Structure formats: C-alpha cells, structure tokens
C-alpha cells in the first residue's frame, strides 16, 4: 500500500467517523446551543485541519451575525462581536451562498480586510492573539432557500491547508447542522403557534361563558317583563310587585357582572383609580347589609363592628363594591340560607373585615386559585350558580390598590370566611393616584 493510499484511507475513515459522531450528536435531545457546542467539539476533534471553528447564525432582529458555538475562541468574548451583513468571510459566504476555500494567509487577509476594527479587536481577544489564520474553510448553513448562517473552520499552525477535496465532507456536516437549526427553529415557531392557539381557545371559552352568564339574568328580565305586558292577563297587584322585584334583582345582577367585567379590564391595564377619603366602614357596611337582606329571607345578615372602629382612609365606592361582591357570594353559595356575619376588627395599623357564611364551603385545592380571573369551583351537584368568576379578582385588585390584603378560609360543608384588611391611614397623604393592577392570569 502506498503512503498516499494509506493517508487517503485513514482520512476517509476519520471523515466517516466524524460524520457518524456529528449525526449521533444531532439526534441527542439537547437545546440548540448545547447541540451546536457538542457538534463543534466533535467536528474539530475529527478534523485535524480544523484547529478553530465557529458557527455564526444570522439574527434577523439585530441585523448581525451571532456566534452560537465555538472551539478555539472564547464564546463569551465573541458574543461582543457585531458582524454585519456582507462583512468579512462570514458575511460574504452568507450573502452569495457559496462555500469559500481560502488556502493561503493572503487569501484570508484579503477576505477579512473589510472586517471593522472593533470586530477584529474582539476576535483577537477571543483567541488571545491578533493573528489571522493560515487557511480557512467557510460553508453556508442552509436548508433549501432558508439560510441560517455560516460554519467557519480555521487552520492556525498546521502546515497542510484545507483543499477542494475537503469541501464535500464539510458541506455535508454543515447541511446536518443546518437541519438541526431548522428543526429547532421550527419547534420554537410551532410552540408559539400552539401558545397563540391555546390563548385564542381560552379567550373564546371565556367569551362563551361570560355571554352565557349575562344571558341568564337577561332571559329572566325578558320573561317577567313579557308576562307583565300580556294584555289578556290581569295580574293581581301582589304578583305584579313580585315580578317587578325579580326584574329589579336581575338588573342588579346584570349590572354587577358588567361592572366586574369592565373593572377587571381596567385592573389589567392599570387604569382602576382609587379615590381615598375618610370612610365610616361600619355605616357603609350596614347600608350594604340592609340592601342585601332585602333580597333574601333564607339568610340572616348580622353586622358586628366594635364601637371604637376608626374612620379609615379609603375609596368608599370601591370598598362597597368589595363588600357587595363578597356578600353576594356568601348568599349565592349558601343555597340553604343560614347566618352571614360581617365583623370588623381593629389592629394597630389596619382594620380587618371578615364575612362568614354557613354555605357549601371551598376545598383546600380550590382555595389556591380562588382569586384568579375566571376561576369558578365546579359544583359537584351540577346545580348552576350564575357568575363570571371575576368578583373576587376584582375585589383583590381593589384591596391591593388600598395596600391591603384579601384572603379566605373555608371548610367544605361548613362555610367560608373571606377577610380583607386595609391600612387605617396613609392613602390620601400620597400625591400619586392609586392604580390597581392585576398581573396574575391575564388573557
């Protein structure tokens, strides 16, 4: 066997080995940067002439090439490089889509002559010396018409340089790398599409549920109004009053639901303004309790505030909304009636209001997402209680805008207590308007 044949054989064997290794690496379940890193190590190990190498990917958003993996370069330093389109060897190979074999130092120098000094300085720092390679081989990374970047291999010390016969092999490796980049990017795009679809589906579901919930009181209003308008029926006064009362109640329900939907959007965009002023919470609470008591004779609402309860600094309309939402739930979710107690407690720097019912209760798992938008406990009995799942998130938005806290305790079958705290003072003395914001669970 001649020396030449021997060299060729061992070279073929090495190429085949490198190809197998790179292909094996590319099938590993790694993230793209780790994958390219592993490929570069395999490649430079297998190819004696490739003493240094870097994979430069084109980044559309910055309009620059970004080093993704490197051997013989400090990748962290290389990332400071801002190689533009058409610049240096990488830019040219990417632009014309053809590999470049630079067999002499002069050819390398010529193709790198337009590299901006700042980039050249970064390159020198990344390899520890300002020395251009003796030879280089740069091949485009592309799949069909889709171009991703350039694989650049450099010979630094070896007396032998890359030759034309090295090209098919390196191009095959580059094609494998390009396929991996393509696959990873497709996966990212697919993920984004899946996320967008999921968000779309969720939005449609929410819209469908909200529309359905709004239609329930509307249907009742329409039904009673139509009944009252029937000319052939002469309703007794008592019946007329009852129907009008039901219409009035359902209008209140509708109003509350629409207010919650609007306020929830305002909270999401940070536009719910709190206007603090001195508030007598016991009196305000009693007003709401009386109003709600008129709606039910199954429940008995008790208000219990200590006599020395302080005047607090808060937005009375917004606090009314919070208490109404919580009290409304206390009645809705205790279908058999019972006692509902609203209690006030004074602490050194804040006040706490609790609203307890003897209703169906909430399980520990359902207490966790209780204040998330659109969350509603699935009723095991299938009995449907109208609601939007926005009452508590809106209450939380309002309370947090008062720098307070809201929380719940419950036992299934025994009842629920909702608590909220608000500081006694401090809101009015601040000049900035208070904006509620709801970061959790936005759609």
Please give the residue ranges that form the binding site for ligand ADP (CB under 6 A).
325, 329-330, 333, 357, 359-360, 362, 370, 375-377, 387-393, 416
- Least separation in angstroms between residue 313's CB and ligand ADP is 26
10 Å CB burial of residue 107 (0-12, 13-18, 19+) is middle
List C-alpha distances in Å: 343 to 283, 284, 357, 419: 12, 13, 12, 9
Structure tokens at 21: 């290794």
Please, what is the minimum distance in Å from the beta carbon of residue 31 to ligand ADP? 39
Query: What is the C-alpha separation between 442 and 232, in angstroms, rounded?
Result: 51
DSSP 3-state assignment of 139? strand
Q: What does the angle CA 262 – CA 288 – CA 411 come to, to the nearest 5 degrees? A: 85
| Best CA proximity match to 86, nearest among 115, 119, 106 | 115
- The nearest distance, CB 232 to ligand ADP, in angstroms, is 38
CB 427 within 8 A of CB 264: no
Euclidean distance between CA atoms 156 and 137, whole angstroms = 12
Residue closer to ligand ADP, measured from CB, 416 or 438? 416
> What whole-number distance in Å separates Cα of residue 73 and Cα of residue 70?
6
**DSSP-derived 3-state class of residue 170:** helix
Do the bridges between strand 338-346 and strand 299-304 make them parallel or antiparallel, or are there none, so unpaired?
Answer: parallel
Decide whether 135 or 389 has the Cβ nearer to ligand ADP.
Answer: 389
Q: Which is nearer to ligand ADP, 160 or 262 (CB)?
A: 262
Residue whose CB is less far from ligand ADP, 155 or 421: 421
Minimum CB–partner distance for residue 377 and ligand ADP (Å): 3
CB of 402 to ligand ADP, least distance (A): 18
Measured from the CB atom, the residue of 375 and 407 that comes closer to ligand ADP is 375
User: Which one, of 275, 302, 440, 304, lies nearest residue 372 by Cα?
Assistant: 440
To the nearest whole angstrom, how small is the minimum distance from the Cβ of residue 321 to ligand ADP? 12
Distance CA 70, CA 44 (A): 10
CB of 318 to ligand ADP, least distance (A): 16
Handedness of CA 132, 136, 141, 146 (dihedral sign): positive
Q: Between 103 and 261, name the residue whose CB sits nearer to ligand ADP.
A: 261
Q: How far is the CB of 394 from ligand ADP (least distance, A)?
A: 8
Min separation Cβ 325 and ligand ADP, Å: 6
Q: Give the C-alpha separation, 221 to 244, whole Å.
A: 9
Q: With respect to ligand ADP, which residue has the nearer C-beta, 323 or 330?
A: 330
> What residues have CB less than 8 Å from 87, skipping those under 6 apart?
114, 115, 116, 119
Smaller CB distance to ligand ADP: residue 243 or 375? 375
- Name which of 171 and 209 has its Cβ closer to ligand ADP: 209
């Amino acid at each position: 066997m001649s020396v030449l044949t021997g060299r060729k054989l061992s070279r073929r064997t090495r190429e085949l080995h490198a190809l197998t290794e790179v292909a094996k690496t590319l099938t590993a379940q790694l993230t793209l940067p780790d994958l390219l890193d592993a490929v570069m190590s395999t490649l430079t190990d297998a190819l004696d002439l490739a003493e240094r190498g870097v994979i430069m990917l084109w980044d559309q958003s910055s309009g620059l090439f970004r080093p993704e993996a490197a051997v013989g370069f400090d990748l962290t330093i290389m990332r400071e490089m801002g190689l533009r389109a058409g610049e240096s060897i990488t830019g040219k190979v990417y632009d014309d889509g053809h590999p470049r074999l630079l067999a002499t130092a002069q050819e390398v120098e010529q193709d790198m002559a337009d590299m901006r000094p700042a980039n050249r300085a970064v390159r020198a720092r990344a390899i520890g010396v300002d020395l251009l390679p003796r030879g280089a081989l740069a091949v485009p990374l592309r799949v069909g018409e889709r171009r991703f970047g350039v694989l650049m291999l450099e010979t630094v010390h070896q007396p032998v340089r890359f030759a034309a016969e090295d090209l098919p092999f390196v191009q095959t490796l580059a094609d494998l790398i390009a396929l991996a980049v393509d696959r990873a990017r497709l996966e990212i795009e697919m993920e984004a599409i899946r996320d967008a679809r999921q968000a779309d589906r969720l939005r449609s579901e929410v819209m469908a549920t909200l529309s359905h919930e709004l239609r329930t009181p509307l249907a009742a209003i329409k039904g009673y109004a139509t009944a009252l308008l029937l000319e052939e029926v002469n309703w007794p006064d008592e019946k007329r009053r009852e129907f009008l009362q039901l219409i009035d109640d359902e209008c209140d329900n509708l109003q509350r639901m629409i207010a919650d939907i609007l306020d929830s959007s305002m909270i999401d965009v940070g536009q719910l303004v709190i206007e603090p002023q001195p508030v007598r919470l016991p009196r305000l609470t009693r007003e709401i309790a009386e109003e709600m008591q008129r709606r039910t004779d199954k429940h008995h609402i008790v208000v219990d505030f200590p006599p020395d309860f302080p005047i607090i600094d808060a937005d009375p309309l917004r606090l009314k909304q919070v208490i109404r939402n919580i009290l409304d739930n206390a009645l809705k979710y205790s279908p058999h009636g019972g006692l509902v107690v609203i209690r006030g407690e004074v602490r050194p720097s804040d006040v706490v209001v609790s609203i307890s019912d003897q209703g169906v209760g909430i399980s520990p798992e359902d207490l966790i997402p209780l204040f998330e938008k659109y969350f509603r406990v699935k009723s095991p009995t299938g009995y449907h209680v109208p609601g939007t799942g926005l009452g508590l998130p809106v209450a939380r938005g309002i309370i947090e805008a008062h720098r307070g806290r809201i929380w719940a305790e419950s036992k299934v079958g025994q009842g629920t207590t909702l608590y909220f705290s608000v500081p006694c003072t401090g809101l009015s003395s601040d000049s900035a308007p208070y904006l509620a914001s709801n970061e959790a669970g936005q759609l």
